[in-house]
Amino acid sequence: MRIAGRGLVDRGAPVRFRFDGQSYTGFAGDTLASALLAEGVRLFGRSFKYHRPRGVLSAGSEEPNALVTVGRGAAQTPNLRATVQEIHENLDARSQNRWPTLRFDLQEVNDLFAPFLSAGFYYKTFMWPRGFWERIYEPLIRRAAGLGALSGRADRDLNDKAWAFCDLLIIGAGPAGLMAALKAGRAGADVLLVDENPRPGGRLLAEDEEVDGMPGPDWVDSVLAELAARDNVRIMCRTTVTGAFDGGVYGALERSGLHLADPGDVPLETFWRINAKRALLCAGALERPIAFANNDRPGVMLAGAVRQYLHGYGVACGRKVAVFANSDDGLRTARDLHAAGIEVAALIDSRPDAPQSGDFPVFAGAQVTDARGWLGLREITVLSAGQTHRIEADCLAVSGGWNPTLHLSCHTGARPVWNDAIAAFVPAPETVPGMQVAGAACGVFSTKGALKSGAYRAKLLLEDLGFKVPAGATPPADDARSGLVALWQVPGKGRAWLDFQNDVTTKDVDLAAR
């Protein structure tokens, strides 16, 4: 499933690894998810409660389905996301929450009892007899409900803690974060740029876009080269900021050695306490799915993830791909796939005035109402102009819009504000003291807007610290609007999934609200 001439992985550096006892080969720069998708693997795990087959949904740390256990014995680590775990020589990963095998899981029978396991079932059912809880109910539930398992042995892995200090902490190294780092670096501030990915760049590594007249990844490399030459700028990759606390203190977890075959004296993880005079949140946004019947089939993925696997890893997520969206992200995805030589079965756009294309069928004002295929998607059902169409597809790329990654802005009590234009919450005007928000994290989704937002917010913070910020225009970049028309769920029979990791459907939420 590799596409020639696509991706940022090193095709000259093959890496051997194992998944569920079978040997595979990927390339340096692959995650476990991208390497397995490239090998044609679609089934990655089983769902939490009903043990339904699940595949990769996303391409980042938001992944709910593809959770794996890595290592053996005392070094065994459960519940790592395959979309984040980088492959290395002789990596040994295993699927979870299944018995005896991933393809044949006896606990799949739980799905037959779904009508009896509605929201609140456990709390209503296991209240009586009172004495049964500790001896009978709890042990059975724990045995059935666990995902990954710890080894039970003493953990002899090396982990560490560390401290850092800076004038400006920039959280996220996408276009907004990189532009902010350039501004702050040129102003002479002590800058700490933190990103959870192995390579800075954010969505610029996942899209077919140009910045300042060059491909997005090339522009990223040019910025990183300038930042690396400055003594006042430090870049930390594989590092997730986990909390914002009083007094400009931030917690961050660095995956120091989880990507190495032999970490040696390198700690597997390092927890950082960062003291920052000011902070700029540039954490981007998370794409949301659309709920429709059986939208959890392996092969149903987020459209942005499908583009990321294509442009970032050179991987086609299917041989015959359909796209379902409520914005121009659908057309962007279909065009990128078509340009790469991948068959686009159909573009299903919920907007009646959706743009047409001569390269693939477009259903305007239409919706996907069902997906078929137990261990992997085979077919989707489309309702268009009152007519039902069945379309063969082994991958369905879905986009329901984007939610700003604003969580850190709420950590000292600020409440997010609804923005009807993007059908999502955005950070409140007053967030964490000393913090500003830029780019997609505040609802600015175009690349040009993110660059301008990052530069402007950094300028405000730096001037507040007393730095003189040199003037300079932001580079030209894509400024397309999404044209989103909100669509949350498609009415119909069958269960439509909202929370894939915890097996929560739209009906569960309706019942819980009632």
Where does residue 357 rank: exposed (0-12), middle (13-18), buried (19+ CB within 10 A)? middle
Q: What is the C-alpha to C-alpha distance for residues 145 and 178, in angstroms, rounded to an integer?
A: 42
What values do phi and psi take at 40, rounded to 5?
90, 10
**Polymer length in residues for the chain:** 514
Number of alpha carbons in the 13 Å side-chain half-sphere of residue 407 = 11
Q: Determine the Cα–Cα distance for residues 381 and 369; give it in Å rounded to an integer.
A: 6
Contact 79, 69 (CB under 8 A): yes
The residues near 254 (Cβ < 8 Å, ≥ 6 apart) are 236, 238, 239, 269, 270, 271, 272
CA 420, CA 427: separation in Å to the nearest integer?
Answer: 13
Residue 304 to residue 13: CA distance in whole angstroms: 26
Predicted pLDDT at 463: 96
Any bridge partners for residue 285, and if so which? Answer: 404
Query: Which residues share a beta bridge with 19?
Result: 22, 93
The answer for residues whose C-beta is within 8 angstroms of residue 373's C-beta and 6 or more apart is: 297, 298, 299, 379, 394
Q: What share of the chain is helix, strand, coil (3-state, %, to 5)?
A: 25, 30, 45
- Asked if 232 and 189 count as a contact pair (C-beta separation under 8 A), the reply is yes
Q: Which secondary-structure segment (H or E) carries 23?
A: strand 22-28
Tokens read off for 400: 């329901």
Q: How far is CA 117 from CA 51, 121, 142, 423, 507, in A?
A: 13, 6, 16, 31, 12
CB 89 within 8 A of CB 24: no
Cα 135 from Cα 142, distance rounded (Å): 12
| Rounded CA separation 255/270 (Å) | 7
Token code pair at residue 302: 């987020």
The domains of the chain, with CATH numbers, are 160-286+403-464 (3.50.50.60), 288-401+484-513 (3.50.50.60)
Give me the average pLDDT of each 10-residue run along the chain (514 residues).
93 96 96 97 92 95 95 88 95 92 88 75 75 82 74 87 98 97 97 97 95 96 97 97 96 94 91 98 97 97 97 97 96 96 96 90 96 95 95 97 96 95 94 96 96 97 95 90 92 92 90 86
The tokens of 81 are what? 């996301």
pLDDT at 14 (0 to 100): 96
pLDDT for the residue 144: 66
Strands (E), 350-415: 362-364, 367-372, 379-384, 387-392, 395-399, 402-404
Report the alpha-carbon distance of residue 153 to residue 74 in Å, rounded: 5
What pLDDT, on the 0 to 100 scale, is given for residue 136?
A: 85
